[in-house]
């Protein structure tokens, strides 16, 4: 039997690297799409592979861009992938408010380009779309596949458009295309400007005496944080199902940014207590030093207050279960190398 080929867009990101590692272990020939960058070329952004022990000799990288339909057609023509995992995105929600057109191009038009290339050149391939819990916006928690979606960021709206494209192509062209509606998932490979990694790196720097305090935005925001390692396994499971469908992956546990900070400091042997309210709230250590303060600059134009997923459909139909709980996730991030 010939070796199956997987194409991962957004392979340089946290999920791309975990997924590449997982697929290589499953015997796949892994191809990855990497954008060219005028400052560092295309391949200098691949340091995450080494950190996860994945050799670049085990993946075939292609310079390109999902926003360019000629490029996507060319990729499908040359690779003839059996599986496509579309992880390419402007993945930072706050950044999507500053560059909404770029967010729409890569997330929405990019998905359309890939679906078109697939239906024309490899109609029997399988397509995974990285849909997001950000699509739910402020719909009441817990959210599942039937919850009404009310996104409140350019990122969330672009993701919702891509989600509907996947459903349309599934219904109209009978292609195998799934939406994985993933709640926040983190790891030691998380970029430093997402709140979990920002806290983890801040706590480590404070413990090492390199920093005094962490400035954060909305401490009351609540998220359902899981581990990226569990979630890429879930992506793969969705692609093995008999019938293409949409699935939520989540832990079902919700914590505030404030509790994430407490848990990270606790891992470093520090207890944080909170004083004040709103912009004046501070987190103070046992010695009375301010270790967390609030900075308005990190608030979102529109905040998504509470996400908590109900993954019972994925549990029932795919047999997926997360193996990391909140404490294990925080510990794994705290034990990871500094970034």
173: CB partners within 8 A, 6+ apart: 119, 123
295: CB partners within 8 A, 6+ apart: 215, 216, 217
What is the C-alpha to C-alpha distance for residues 237 and 126, in angstroms, rounded to an integer?
12
Footprint of ligand G4F on 91-120 (CB under 6 A): 91, 93
| Site track 223-242 with ligand G4F (rule: CB under 6 A), x = hit | x-------------------
Torsions phi, psi of 21, nearest 5?
Answer: -60, -45
Of residues 71 and 253, the one with the C-beta less far from ligand G4F: 253
Question: Considering only residues 108, 132, 147, 201, which one is a binding residue for ligand G4F as defined by CB under 6 A?
Answer: 132
Residue 217 found at the interface with ligand G4F (CB under 6 A):
yes
For residues 181 and 248, the answer to whether their CB atoms sit within 8 Å is: yes
Long-range contacts of 240-243 (CB under 8 A, 24+ apart): 241/178, 241/317, 241/318
For residues 270 and 291, the answer to whether their CB atoms sit within 8 Å is: yes
The region of 73-81, 102-110, 215-223, 244-252 touching ligand G4F under the rule CB under 6 A is 215-223
The region of 32-40, 72-80, 101-109, 192-200 touching ligand G4F under the rule CB under 6 A is 192-200
Nearest approach in angstroms of CB 220 to ligand G4F is: 9
The region of 28-36, 50-58, 74-82, 211-219 touching ligand G4F under the rule CB under 6 A is 211-219
What is the C-alpha to C-alpha distance for residues 157 and 148, in angstroms, rounded to an integer?
13
Q: Which stretches of the chain bind ligand G4F, using CB under 6 A?
A: 91, 93, 132-134, 183-184, 193-196, 198, 216-218, 221, 223, 257, 298, 300, 303-304, 307
């Amino acid at each position: 039997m010939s070796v199956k080929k997987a194409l991962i867009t957004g392979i340089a990101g946290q999920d791309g690297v975990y997924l590449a590692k997982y697929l290589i272990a499953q015997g796949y020939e892994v191809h990855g799409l990497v954008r060219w960058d005028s400052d560092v070329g295309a391949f200098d952004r691949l340091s995450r592979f080494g950190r996860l022990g994945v050799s670049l000799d085990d993946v075939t990288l292609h310079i390109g861009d999902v926003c360019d339909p000629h490029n996507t057609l060319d990729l499908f023509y040359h690779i003839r992938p059996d599986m496509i995992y579309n992880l390419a995105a402007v993945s930072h929600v706050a950044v999507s408010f500053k560059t909404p057109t770029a967010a729409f191009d890569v997330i929405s038009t990019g998905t359309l380009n890939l679906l078109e290339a697939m239906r024309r050149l490899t109609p029997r391939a399988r397509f995974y779309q990285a849909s997001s819990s950000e699509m739910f916006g402020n719909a009441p928690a817990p959210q599942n596949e039937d919850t009404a979606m009310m996104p409140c960021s350019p990122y969330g709206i672009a993701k919702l458009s891509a989600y509907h494209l996947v459903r349309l192509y599934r219904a109209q062209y009978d292609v195998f295309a799934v939406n994985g509606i993933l709640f926040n998932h983190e790891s030691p490979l998380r970029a430093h400007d997402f709140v979990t990694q920002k806290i983890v790196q801040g706590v480590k720097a404070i413990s090492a005496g390199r920093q005094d305090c962490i400035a954060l935005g909305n401490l009351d925001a609540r998220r359902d944080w899981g581990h990226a390692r569990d979630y890429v396994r879930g992506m793969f499971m969705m692609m093995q199902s008999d019938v293409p469908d949409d699935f939520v992956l989540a832990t079902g546990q919700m914590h505030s940014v404030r509790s994430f900070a407490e848990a990270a400091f606790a891992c470093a042997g520090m207890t944080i207590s909170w004083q004040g309210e709103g912009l004046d709230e501070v987190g103070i250590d046992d010695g009375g030093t301010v270790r967390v303060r609030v900075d308005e600059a990190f608030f979102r134009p529109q905040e998504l207050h509470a996400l908590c997923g109900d993954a019972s459909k994925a549990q029932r139909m795919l047999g997926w279960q997360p193996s990391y709980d909140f404490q294990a996730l925080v510990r794994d991030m705290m034990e990871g190398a500094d970034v």
